[in-house]
Structure 1
Amino acid sequence: MSEVFPKKLRGWRFVLFNLCLGLGHAVVLFNAGAYIAMLPRVVGGLSIPPSFATWTQTDYMLGLALALPVGIWMSRRLGEYRPLVWAFIVFALASTVCAYSSSLYEFLAARIVLGFSGGMTLPLGQSMLMKEYPQRRKNIGIGVWTLFTLTPFTFGPPCGGWIADNLGWRWLFIINVPLALAIAGIVGALLYRRGAKLIRRRFDLVGFLLLLAALASFQTLLNQGNDWDWNNSLYLMGLLGFCLMALSYWVVWELSVRHPFLDIRLFAQRNFAIGTLVLFFGFMFFQGLLSLLVVQLQLTMGYSSFLAGLVFLPMAIFAKPVAGGFHQIVKHVDARLLASLNLLGFAGTYFWLSRFEHFDAYQQLFWPKLLEGICLGSFFAPLTALLLHGLPPDRQWRAVELATSLRIAAGAIGISFQGIVFYFLTPLHQTHFAETHTPFDQRFSESIELLTDSGFSGSTALIQFAGMGREQAAIRAINDAFWLAGCVFIALSLLVWLAHPTRQPAKGTLAQRMRRRALALLVREV
């Protein structure tokens, strides 16, 4: 075994090391945020329905969720830098397959591998970066990691839209290849023969496989339910039964082993259970609505990928400053109060968005998206403080591991869930539109007359009018999805008050403060 504690990197090597790890982190997160704006382009490129394109995003996020605990285990069993180097090599190989895939299932398999290999790098990279900083400067390391965490998430949709419009969606994966290989090579060279203290703990392979089976079957059920007509399909009923069986076996298994894949015994702690549930459902609706809006702006309202992604740029203005401030505020104020106010802010934002009739005006979306960015920046800190309250230090990493994995999985579930909501509500509004716009209705006559005066023939005017009806139905379905989310966030704002009161001590050792900030940062990744 090589030296366990070699001399830390200094000078240009230290700067290069920071840049490589930060860039690697940004690349992984960018492949989650930027891809959302590309979904309609992927539909055309692979000649698949929109629901199948959504499948490629949700399974990528499931790969991220499952890889996070694996990455933490490998860092303790093998050290950090070797697994990280190999993870980026696999990431480059999977990106190559994605870039040149011509069929859905080949592309889907590569996306899953891409998500899993990328997810492993998230905890490995953070741990490696923090070890290179001296104790008194770890706050700077956390600041660097925070910058690379929030930037690709907020700037991902517009940048991904620009790539899709000007270069083609496959270029997202082509760009990945040299970046991932360069990161793997440079990090490997900088830390060559670097040793580490190893913890020999058995990997819970059975728990991993059972959870993989449960999540994969459930996500497939959500992704294909609209296409297979739900309870009228024996295939979907079989998936549901398999999912419930795998999930049941997984719970029993995890409660019976000494070192489980995910420590679900933590749900016996009230604060952890409430904080994690709020984190799960809050992020589920946030991620799902983000994906729904950016896709429907393109499919229904005719936005380009870049313009649809640009709608989310206002979120970047206050997200990072607010996130940094809340790490200090949460030390002095009860986390329940901060979380409740944040959730009410989300509710107000979504009720505001649910009142729009025309999503083609940027000024109608700018202010609520600005408010949503403030809410996003203040979302994670109080919930992290809430779910970690009362846990001993040796269980806090396992708590963050479980909460973060569930949150990332919630994002995948939320994308599929909002697709289901849109699928069921749009026909209802189309029916209502048809019932209220008949040849005996004055608005119908005026609309047809206006279209005819614009140069359309009688039959073409009717076709244009029907298209207007479909667009109006889609807008109203999106409004209903936002309204439903507002109601859910009000319920979550009340749920947090069932937790025990908590307030982090204003003072503490530097190591304790840095540990808590690192844990909070890991919770909000992806």
Structure 2
Amino acid sequence: MKRTLLLITVIAAAVMELIDTSIVNVALSHMSGNLGATLEDTSWVITAYAIANVIIIPITSFLANKLGRRNYYIGSIIAFTFFSFMCGQATNIWMLVAFRFLQGMGGGALLSVSQVIVFELFPKEKQSVASALFGVGVFVGPTIGPTLGGYITEFYNWPWIFYINIPIGIAAASICYVLLKEPESKGQTGSIDWAGIILLAIGIGSLQTVLERGEVDDWFEAGYIIILSVIAFFGLLLFIWWELTTPNPVVNLRVLRSRNLSLAAIMTFVSGVGLFSSVFLTPVFAQRLLNFTPTQTGLLLLPGAILAIGGLIISARLLQRGVSPIVMITAGMLMFVVFSWQMSGYNLDVSAGSVTATLIWRGVGLAMTTVPLSVLAVSALSPTDFAQGAALNNMMRQLGGSFGLAMVNTYLANRNAVHRMDLVSNITGDNPASVKRLADYTQFFLSRGAGAQEAQAKALRLMDLNIIKQTSVLSFNDAYLLVGLVFICALPLLLLATPKKKGEKVQVILADH
């Protein structure tokens, strides 16, 4: 009973952290109006959290060893909960951005350390089930975030997207204080690698800022994006060099000598691209173009999310029976490609049922990759390197999400311009279809009592609105195709994986962590 309660608690903590990566996305306009800030400034609420997350995740193993894993984990839950409360109390935008950054710093341990604790709670023969249960949080968190945020904003007020963390955080910290034990063996930390921490913060922080803000500020047209790109490049180069040469690195990059971990990190990056970009594209497509409410959008995503949980359990069972992780990752990625292909063919007349059915391919496909990627990542690591490997793998998912969002946002803007130009070029006096459409619109407004000039002006505005909608649909079609293409291009890399030795069991790979 105690083990089950602790298991539910740490998974809930991880889900809470992941929900907060996307829950604010649909509340930005409300925050902007309430705090008297521009929408551009308000978007730093998302950026600050993402930067903090991606900085802290790779050093969670070091911090857990240095501070004691139990102390660090409980302290992180308390920090996350406290700064969630402070976010809701913010009275201006930059106060909110600062508290979001500190919330993200507290949330780092709720992902990587939670994963390690979940594995330790299961015996050897059920390690793949542990991976599946943790995968529920990884998948469900970002998926339900926008819908939950939309519902709270629609029926309550935006501070409540932060306040809902408070009872969960208090309960999680209390249960962990009573039930969570310090592991018997601790890694060696030695002196604190301050140089590594500073270089990581500068390099990763700059890179994350570029990815989050690049499209908003027209990429290299903005001077600060150029400067941060240069800082990110040289900062990360110096960080890699330093961590490979210092005797006590804050991030042990030597674990990437494992071919399977390096490959899993790349594929996890790709799955992050798919997970976060599809979570962004689908609600926007449903709400802005199909005119669905946040609640209706949530119902679109729900069946896929439920079936994804089944996919996680099935994938764990298949791994226990000796099915190759490579085969399952391939199958899952191909399912996601099917999702992308089908979404790329939809227009404004698509039914809710069709979108829901297509989202099932997405849910099950990503679920089928989650557990095998976790297995592949640690399959050649020693028990002492597991926490570091898990942290690096989780960081790659977050970076993949940021890259995916930057990629689809930029691509949407570019394709929007191209499609608009194509559509407008066909609206001429020589095109019978456009002439008839304009005449029908004009006649409609005339029948409503408008004068000739007013009716024509309104007809032209209506034509332009239709062009904008059609342009958006075509751009979203292209964006879904692009994400699917990323998955297709990544598939051949799976051929580089080191196969299991004959008779080797998946559960043994994950034992004693």
Q: Which TM-score band applies after superposition, normalised by the shorter structure? A: 0.7 to 0.9
Q: TM-score, normalised by structure 1?
A: 0.84
Distance 1:286 1:121 in 2: 19
Q: Pick closer, same or farther for the CA change 1:514–1:251 going to 2, 3 Å.
A: closer
Deviation at 1:339, TM superposition (A): 2.1
Structure 2 matches for 1:363-382, cutoff 5 A?
A: 363-382=353-372
Select between 81-90 and 14-23 the one with higher mean Cα deviation.
Answer: 14-23
Q: Which residue number corresponds to residue 496 of structure 1?
A: 494
| Deviations 1:147-168, CA, capped at 9 Å, x for gaps | 5555544443333321121112
Residue 342 (structure 1) aligns with: 332
Q: Which among 418, 425, 430 is matched to residue 435 of structure 1? A: 425
Q: Offset at 1:319?
A: 0.8
Shift of 1:351: 1.3
CA gap 1:49/1:215 in 2 versus in 1, 3 angstroms: farther
CA displacement at 1:429 relative to structure 2: 1.2
After alignment, is 15-24 or 327-336 more displaced?
A: 15-24
Match of 1:118 among 103, 107, 118: 107
Match in the other structure for 2:274: 285
1:76–1:197 Cα contact (<8 Å) kept: no
Judged with a 3 Å threshold, the aligned counterparts in structure 2 of structure 1 residues 513 and 238 are, in CA distance, closer, same or farther, namely: closer
CA deviation after TM superposition for structure 1 residue 353, in Å: 0.9
Partner of 1:355: 345
CA contact (8 A) 1:350 1:482 kept: yes
- Residue equivalent to 1:211: 200
Which amino acid is the alignment partner of residue 470 of structure 1? I
Q: Secondary structure at the match of 1:228?
A: coil
Q: 1:348-386 CA deviation, whole Å, 9 max, x = no partner?
A: 221111111227631231121011111011012333333
Q: How does 1:249-398 map to 2 (within 5 A)?
A: 249-331=238-320, 332-358=322-348, 361-398=351-388
CA distance in structure 2 between the aligned counterparts of 1:160 and 1:386, rounded to whole angstroms: 34
C-alpha distance in structure 2 between counterparts of 1:339 and 1:15, whole Å: 29
Q: Is residue 2:59 matched to residue 1:63?
A: no
Secondary structure of 1:313's aligned partner? helix
Equivalent residues of 1:157, 1:312 under 8 A apart: no
Please say if 1:163 is aligned against 2:152.
Answer: yes
The 5-angstrom pairing of residues 85-104 of structure 1 reads 85-104=74-93
Query: Given the superposition, is the C-alpha separation of residues 298 and 503 from structure 1 closer, same or farther in structure 2, using an over 3 Å criterion?
Result: farther
| Alpha-carbon distance, 1:210 to partner | 1.2
Task: Return 228-237 or 277-286, whichever deviates more.
Answer: 228-237
CA contact (8 A) 1:37 1:295 kept: no
Correspondence 1:416 to 2:416: no
Instruction: Give runs of aligned pairs for residues 33-112 of structure 1, distance below 5 A.
Output: 33-42=22-31, 44-46=33-35, 53-112=42-101
By how many angstroms is 1:230 displaced?
A: 2.9
TM-superposition CA deviations, 1:365-414 (whole Å, max 9, x none): 11210111110110123333333343344334322221221212221222
Is the Cα contact below 8 Å between 2:280 and 2:405 reproduced in 1? yes
Most deviating of 223-232 and 375-384: 223-232
- d(CA) in 2 for partners of 1:326, 1:240: 39
The gaps in structure 2 that reach 5 residues or longer are 449-454
Matched, 1:467 2:476: no
Looking at structure 1, the residues matched to 375 and 134 of structure 2 have their Cα atoms a distance apart, in angstroms, of 19
Identical counterparts, % of pairs: 21
CA distance in 2, matches of 1:365, 1:19: 32
Seen in structure 2, the aligned counterparts of structure 1 residues 41 and 502 have a Cα distance that, compared at 3 Å, is farther
Structure 1 residues 220-231: aligned runs within 5 Å = 220-231=209-220
Which secondary structure does the structure 2 equivalent of 1:321 belong to? helix
Q: For the structure 1 residues 241 and 437, does the alpha-carbon distance in structure 2 shift closer, same or farther, using more than 3 Å as the test?
A: same
Distance 1:297 1:15 in 2: 38
Aligned residues of 1:335 and 1:502 also touching (Cα < 8 A): no
For the 8 Å contact 1:160–1:309, the answer to whether it is kept is: no
Q: What are the Cα deviations for residues 259-295 of structure 1, in whole angstroms up to 9, with x where unaligned?
A: 3233333444433322221221232233123213323
Q: Which secondary structure does the structure 2 equivalent of 1:482 belong to?
A: helix
How far is the alpha carbon of 1:452 from its aligned partner? 3.5
CA distance in 2 between partners of 1:286 and 1:127 (Å)? 22
Q: For residues 125-140 of structure 1, what are the structure 2 equivalents within 5 Å?
A: 125-128=114-117
Contact 2:18-2:142 at 8 Å conserved across structures: yes
CA distance in 2 between partners of 1:349 and 1:406 (Å): 23
Amino acid at match of 1:350: S
Q: Contact 1:315–1:372 at 8 Å: present in 2 too?
A: yes
- The 3-state SS of whatever aligns with 1:34 is coil
Residues 82-137 of structure 1: CA deviation (Å, up to 9, x unaligned): 22332222222321232133443322222222122122133444555666678888
Q: CA RMSD in A?
A: 3.3
